[in-house]
A and B are shown apart, each in its own frame.
Chain A
Amino acid sequence: MDALIEPLREGIMQRALLEVALLGVVGGALGCWVVLAQLSYGAESLAHGMLPGLVLASLAGAPLLLGGAAGIVVAALAVALVARGGRRGPGDLLGRDTAIAVVVTALFGLGALLALAPETPAGIQGLLFGDVLGTTTADLLASAALAVVVLAALALLHWRLLAVGFDRASARALGAAPAAADAALLVLLALAVLVAVQALGNLLVVAVLVAPAAAARALTRRMGPMIAAAVAIAVAAGVAGLYLSYYARIAAGAAVAGALVAAFLLARAAALLRARI
């Protein structure tokens, strides 16, 4: 019992635990729609492509939220542009995902280049791997606001997202516009990546969006239970990862990401075992 309570005596850990719990709620719930809409690759592209914005904000001493927002808009526009080009037809040699990979790698490389320039201030590592132990009260407020916005939007849009995901072609006849559902999901995804990237880092943020939902998908057969399970898994794995980092003295962001992936592997194993019995 003491082992569980001891880390809570420190303000740093209190804030970090609250932050991973809030991000777990967002990542778990939104992640279900991301996984079902096959947007996991898009989530990763946004997270990696926004690095130049984060680095530039860090260099200029501007708020990371601002730089991240600019970076994510640039990344989203670039991805949308090449994805459109990749659809032109058989004459186009680049497939869509190849084109996106090239753009995202270029943006990520640009960010790394800027980050490694001699005048770079310390803290670039935090951009890549996150700094959950450095969570401030302002960060917590941003995460709480994000959680409220994402949960409210998902609750209101639930049936339209469901109708579009189930059958895009006939959704319009039911009054659910596929383009509007896509846009809503992408905006929520961009917001979530923007807020979560500061705690979990550019490289690891996608873990909280994809792993809990993928784990819940293996364990449940309905959307409601899937969302509930994904939220529970994300919060539990996030908290477990923080405790692990506290006692094993390893990087907090990596421990949280590792715990999320471990939860996914456990869930898959459980699902396989259940199918055998």
Chain B
Amino acid sequence: MSGPLLRAEGAAIGYGAAPVLSDVTFALEPGERIGVLGPNGGGKTTLFRALLGELPVLRGRVEVAVRCGTVPQTERSRLDFPVSALDVALMGAIAGRPWWRRPGRAERAAARDALARVGLGALADRSFGELSGGQRQRVLVARALVQDARVLLLDEPFTGLDAASERRLEALLDELAAEGRGVLVATHDVEQARRWDRVLCLNRRQVAFGSPAATLTRDVLTATYGGAIVTLPGEAGAGAALAILPAHHCDHEP
């Protein structure tokens, strides 16, 4: 496919008349991983909902050329619900089907393939609620694959994962991008975002968009997170690590 998978130009997004997020201009090319940074309430989820067509674009344009799959935080789903990992992956098969058509044998096979693809083939029949946080996150990625989503929208997928699960999920996202899918990941981890292709910084408006090296400067991060940033000691020079602190720690800045 030529051209971006999705594109926003001067977009303002909101629930009513006043936008919650404005001045959004970026494009997601096939094979790209974009880290979406910003404080809570900064507009990360708002952007995702607009890309899914759930929120209106008040000004500007948002063009989505392909199907987007959403990978929400698993705490939002009901962990006590009587469903297996396979059931959850199969939910991806109802997208785009008329309401009276049930998923059949072909969809079931596709769901098993998708679970195998994310490394959970052996756990397909396990209850969703019994899986670890990282495994649940990968089941939801499999659901997006069953949906045949060319773009994956992940809402803080690394929150609460241990280091091993985090590496495993990150490697999976790398693989999916290498297949030509686009990946948008909302995250709080600036260091992690440095490893991706581009970063999009939001704080009720778009602060910056570009390659991590050029974009993740102190000024941009200050504008994104409202000044709650410190430079960690020990890594002097260009590689200095930046960390984000809760707002009330601002006065400890060196």
Contact = CB atoms under 8 A, between A and B. Distances in A.
Interface of A: 36, 155-160, 162-163, 165-167, 169-170, 172-176, 217, 220-223, 226
Contact of B83 (A160, A169, A222): A222
A223 B127 CA distance: 11
A160 B99 contact: yes
A157 B99 contact: yes
B206 interface: no
Contacts of B95: 173-175
A188 to B, nearest CB: 15
Nearest to A163: B91
20 contacts: A36-B81, A157-B99, A160-B99, A163-B91, A165-B78, A166-B83, A166-B91, A167-B72, A167-B77, A169-B72, A170-B70, A173-B95, A174-B91, A174-B95, A175-B94, A175-B95, A175-B97, A176-B94, A223-B83, A223-B87
Interface of B: 52, 54, 68-70, 72, 76-78, 81-84, 87-88, 90-97, 99-100, 102-103, 127-128, 143, 147
Given A156-B99, A159-B102, A170 B82 contact: no
B171 to A, nearest CB: 24
A223 B100 CA distance: 19
A237 B77 CA distance: 33
Given A167-B77, A174-B94, A175-B96, A222 B52 contact: no
Contacts of A156: 99-100, 102
Nearest to B128: A166
Nearest to B78: A166
Given A156-B100, A157-B99, A162 B52 contact: no
A163 B91 CA distance: 6
A217 B70 contact: no
Nearest to B143: A174
B54 A223 contact: no
A36 B147 CA distance: 25
Contacts of B100: 156
Contacts of B54: 172-173
A162 B72 contact: no
B82 A221 contact: yes
Contacts of B102: 155-156, 158-159
A228 B100 CA distance: 21
Given A159-B90, A159-B94, A166-B83, A174 B78 contact: no
A173 B68 CA distance: 8
B103 A174 contact: no
Contacts of A223: 82-83, 87
A1 B42 CA distance: 73
B72 A170 contact: yes
B82 A160 contact: no
Nearest to A156: B100
Given A159-B94, A166-B81, 9 more contacts: A36-B81, A159-B102, A162-B91, A167-B77, A170-B72, A173-B69, A175-B97, A221-B127, A223-B82
Considering the complex of A and B, which 6 residue pairs feature the smallest CB-CB distances, nearest first?
A167-B77, A173-B70, A175-B95, A163-B91, A170-B72, A173-B52
B108 to A, nearest CB: 12
Contacts of A165: 78, 81
Contacts of A163: 91, 94
Contacts of B52: 172-173
A172 B96 CA distance: 11
Nearest to B155: A170
B156 to A, nearest CB: 14
Contacts of B83: 162, 166, 222-223
Given A156-B102, A175-B95, A167 B87 contact: no
A19 B219 CA distance: 74
